[in-house]
Structure 1
Amino acid sequence: MDELARRSFVAAVLGAVFFGGPAVAQNTTAGGVTRVALKGYDPVSYFTDGVPQQGSAEFTFAFDDTTYWFKSAEHRTTFAADPEHYAPQFDGFCAVLLSRGRKVEADPEAWTINNGKLYVFSGKRGVLSFNERPIDIAQRAGENLKQLR
């Protein structure tokens, strides 16, 4: 989604959230199935609680072609105010495997916050690998994500 369209979408959803409209827009993959990032874990909880907390389908928000679940309306509002800060990098796919050209869903329990950004991995070993070369891995993962979309 281009930057202008994404910002317009975020503004529309914020308006709906704050003025009584539908809670959230849904998104779908090519197969018609909604993709929920982080296996339903609340991305804000990584920052506020220091541990991942399971979200609820009751509190959702769509951003960057991905739906996020939250444990509370407060966390959803926090995310909606600054999704670039709270959303996991690379749409919640494993940063290490993405740097190697593979798009794999991450384990929400394998994570780190580096330079104020949330990164998730397919397993705990990914955290160790990432921490050894965060700039290199993040740069390659970003390049590969563009190609794999």
Structure 2
Amino acid sequence: MRQRGKQILTLTKSYAVLFAIVFAAAMAPAHAQQKGYVTNVLTGVAISGYDPVAYFTEDAAIAGTPLYEYEWGGAAWYFSSAANRDVFIAAPEVYAPMFGGHCTTSMARGFLSDGNPQIFRIVADRLLLFHSVGNREAFDMSRAPQLATAIDNWDALPRFQSQANLAH
């Protein structure tokens, strides 16, 4: 019985150490991370498969489909129609989210966190994603300074070698 307790304690400590390592890596300052589009780790699809053009044409997060897919910036992008895909192909930098789809408020605070494609704003004709409604509300209280800081922090990040066409 005593040996079993030691095994459980050792296993618990191992999980605690693993959690600490994963948490520390996730919360590393932005300057210690690299740029890249937020993609689904299993599919490689950007912004959870939402149509980036629809944010501008429908003012809504509309799910795309693999039927209308386009590879750009090291990621697969889904669209709700062939027309939206073609619009994106003509000017991907215009429609792709700023900061690679990472949360704008988090970027302004100096770290990367995934943006939620259902929580967004169009500001100065650019798509901004946010991790939470609270982050979007915090951004709305002081848009210009936070956006400027987020841009500076994003520009300071090194780029992934395979993604040469990352837009702000």
1:133 and 1:61 mapped to 2: Cα distance?
35
Deviations 1:41-62 (A, max 9, x none): 1011111111111111222223
Give SS of 1:50's match. Answer: coil
Q: Give the superposed CA RMSD.
A: 2.5
Identity of aligned residues (%): 30
Q: Where does residue 115 of structure 2 map in the other structure?
A: 106
Higher RCO (CA-CA < 8 Å; seq separation 6+): 2
Equivalent residues in 2 for 1:51-130, closer than 5 Å: 51-130=60-139
TM-score of the superposition, structure 1-length normalised? Answer: 0.70
Q: How many residues align?
A: 121
Note closer, same or farther for the CA distance 1:79–1:129 as it changes in structure 2 (3 Å cut).
same
Q: Offset of 1:34 from its aligned partner? A: 5.7
TM-score of the superposition, structure 2-length normalised? Answer: 0.63
**For 1:143, which of 152, 155, 163 is the aligned residue?**
152
Q: Offset of 1:102 from its aligned partner? A: 1.6
Question: Which ranges in structure 2 are unaligned for 5 or more consecutive residues?
Answer: 1-36, 159-168
Q: Offset of 1:80 from its aligned partner? A: 1.1
Question: Which ranges in structure 1 are unaligned for 5 or more consecutive residues?
Answer: 1-27
2:112 and 2:89 mapped to 1: Cα distance?
26
Runs of 4+ in structure 1 deviating by more than 6 angstroms, as ranges, are none
Give SS of 2:53's match. Answer: helix
Structure number, greater radius of gyration: 2
Q: Where does residue 51 of structure 2 map in the other structure?
A: 42
Q: Which letter does structure 1 place at the counterpart of 2:105?
A: V
Deviations 1:7-65 (A, max 9, x none): xxxxxxxxxxxxxxxxxxxxx99xx9664221111011111111111111222223333
Q: Offset of 1:113 from its aligned partner? A: 0.7
